Amino acid sequence: MKEAYLYEKLNNKKVGCRLCNHYCTIHPNDLGKCGVRKNKQGTLYSLVYRKLISQNADPIEKKPLFHFLPGTLSMSVATLGCNFRCFFCQNYAISQVESEHDLYGQDVAPEKIVSQALAAECKSISYTYTEPTVFFEYAYDTAQIASQKGLKNVFVTNGYMSKKSLEMIGPYLDAANVDLKSFSEEFYQNKVEAKLKPVLDNIKLMHKMGIWIEVTTLVIPGLNDSSAELGKIAEFLNDVSPNIPWHISAYHPQYKSRIPATGEQKVKTAVNLGKKAGLKYVYGGNIYTSDLETTYCCRCRQPLIKRTAFSVTANHISEGSCPSCGQQADGIWE
Ligand code: SF4
């Protein structure tokens, strides 16, 4: 157990967690909404510190990040827990905590994660698979050490962290993939038990802070796949910056969802809406029969990076630019 970094002591031994936009008020002996933070006699603890549930040296393309150190490995780590309740969660087995007695994990120190990342020749550490905000203390301590050792840090996140937690991790956070699930408050409230606006605010704030961001939208038939809604997401991102890569991901039935999988044509339609809105880099993923994962020069349309199933098969970027016309390619390149 580790005392939480961001909380307030309230009256009658209650505590107010300040980590994410749920801002839970937690009574003694109770857990927060995420199920991994507990009030013990007026002190808030993380129950998942040093409880690693998953660790893999993944291609950075798998996060997905396509414009951040392409072709490199990222040591990807997670604990149990999430602050969202998505009935279609693709990682529900480790994200949805039913009881504090289920909080298992391997005891691995932050220093060890960093040394293992270096030994595996990773260029970054990704806090991913579940929601890094809910294992903030573990991620923060690891990110600090990683940064000192020359590794980059990446959050793969639902973007629901509080402004305070984002500002605290910000100096160590180099990149993030933010899941923007919908452009509807109704969707966020009824389908994932959260709110849309904080996610939008955090995308703007991360961009302002200089964190390299890419955004993913899982397109689910009947829930968020109308052209009007996808167009609004694209226009919002374009207003923040046309340089933000947008990943359109096809949904497949998982967890409690019986909605049929997203068709390939819907992904292509969403990609076109993104381009029409002005976004320079729009990708389609989770489908296997079309080439929607290539990066093209935004000026001369020459292919810059080709990918197949999370592997970079060709990278023509030279000193951060297109070799044909010299146009700068947006991203963080080695
Ligand atoms: S991280 Fe979010 S969901 Fe978890 S206790 Fe804190 S405010 Fe609540």
**pLDDT score of 77:** 98
| Residues 68 and 289: beta-carbon distance below 8 Å | no
pTM of the model: 0.96
Listed in sequence order, the DSSP H helices in the chain are 92-95, 110-119, 136-148, 163-169, 185-191, 197-209, 227-240, 264-277
Q: What is the pLDDT of residue 289?
A: 66
Ligand 1 pocket test: pick from 8, 27, 33 the residue with the most ligand atoms within 8 Å of its Cβ: 33
DSSP state, residue 327:
P
Residue 99 confidence (pLDDT): 80
Beta pairing class for 246-250 and 212-219? parallel
Task: Name the DSSP class of 330.
Answer: P
Name which residue sits closest to atom 6 of ligand 1, judged by CA: 17
- 22 ligand 1 Cβ < 6 A: yes
Does residue 19's CB lie within 6 angstroms of at least one atom of ligand 1? yes
Alpha carbon nearest to ligand 1 atom 7, residue: 23
pLDDT at 113: 98
Using a 6 Å cutoff on CB, does residue 5 contact ligand 1? no
For residue 104, what pLDDT is reported?
87
- Domain ranges in the chain? 2-46, 54-281, 291-322
Probe target for ligand 1 pocket from 10, 18, 37, 127, with the most ligand atoms within 8 Å of CB: 37
What are the strands of the beta sheet with 303-308, ordered from one edge? 295-296, 303-308, 311-315
Which amino acid, 179? D
Tokens describing residue 151: 């590794």
Give pLDDT, residue 198: 98
Residue 251 pLDDT: 92
Q: Report the distance separating Cα 186 and Cα 194, nearest Å.
A: 10
Residue 115 CA to chain centroid, in angstroms?
Answer: 23
Stretches in the chain below the pLDDT threshold 50: none
Q: How far apart are CA 100 and CA 102, in angstroms?
A: 5
The CATH architecture one would assign to domain 54-281 is Alpha-Beta Barrel (3.20)
Closest CA to 173 of 188, 190, 184, 157: 157
In this structure, what DSSP letter does residue 243 have?
Answer: T
